[in-house]
Amino acid sequence: MFVFEKLTQALAANQLWPLKIAANEARIVASSYPVTLEFRRMGQSIGSASNVQAGDFFRGVDFDEVVLKNGATAQSITLGLVSGQSGSDRVTGEVSVISGEVSRTKSGVAYAVGGYQAAVVAEYGYVYLWNPPASGKRLVVGEIAGCAEALGVWGVRSTVSQIGTAWGNLPGNKLIGGAGSVATLYVGTQVAHTGVPLTGYKSSTTEFGKIGLIEPVIVPAGYGVGVWCSGVNELVRGSFQYWEESL
């Protein structure tokens, strides 16, 4: 016995699409933006996957229901459900290869923000990105840049404490008009460094330097990452580009 179902549905933003069909493979055949899938068996959740895009598939786990949740943008989705010796390698219509960066921006989960802290005598300035404990998200920081305007020496540190003052401008969604971020930028000064150092950097006192990250920095809920001056009494600037992932 086998199952071969290929179903298409137009979904509004954040709409759920439950399908009570027993199978052991699920595949996103067509979509424009990422979605989330939850797999169930006998009414119990047995697994889930987020940021699933066209071409992604899940095989080898028996389920009797799958619930697809659309993201923040309305779209038409085609879902394939298969079991037994059946499947499809057929490609039809227009094929578009989209980079992960473009996909995240189109999905409204990519952000950028920057700010500065003025110099204070005998204190170290900082600018950092904070992910609140109850955010339900992790921040994936792909770029960190900074500038210290006296010595030009600064470093990247992580923190487990929310300190300082919230920056006046909220992080901007790279999808113009998209939803706001769970994160907040904070600035301030302190008499001694706190947190855990990740890396140091020396740049021009007037131009931003960018940390060459091989892999992105992952910021769980309840943590922060930012730019700290290496010297006291310095104006410090920091900027961050990141995207959000659901936990």
Strand pairing partners for 17?
68
Start-to-end CA distance of the chain, whole Å, equals 36
Using alpha carbons, select from 14, 23, 63 the residue that is nearest to residue 43. Answer: 63
pTM listed for this prediction: 0.63
Domains within the chain, CATH numbers bracketed: 3-97 (2.60.120), 110-246 (2.60.120)
pLDDT tens digits, 56-108: 888 888 999 999 999 988 888 999 888 865 555 555 445 555 556 777 888 88
Average pLDDT of the residues in 154-158: 94
State the pLDDT at residue 106. 81
State the pLDDT at residue 235. 95
pLDDT tens digits, 185-232: 999 999 999 889 998 888 777 778 888 888 899 999 999 999 999 999
CB–CB of 38/48 below 8 Å? yes
For the chain, what is the total number of helices (H) and then of strands (E)? 1, 20
Distance CA 29, CA 36 (A): 14
- The token pair at 160 is 């487990």
State the pLDDT at residue 87. 55
Q: What is the mean pLDDT of the chain?
A: 88
Query: In 10 A of CB 159, how many CB atoms?
Result: 21
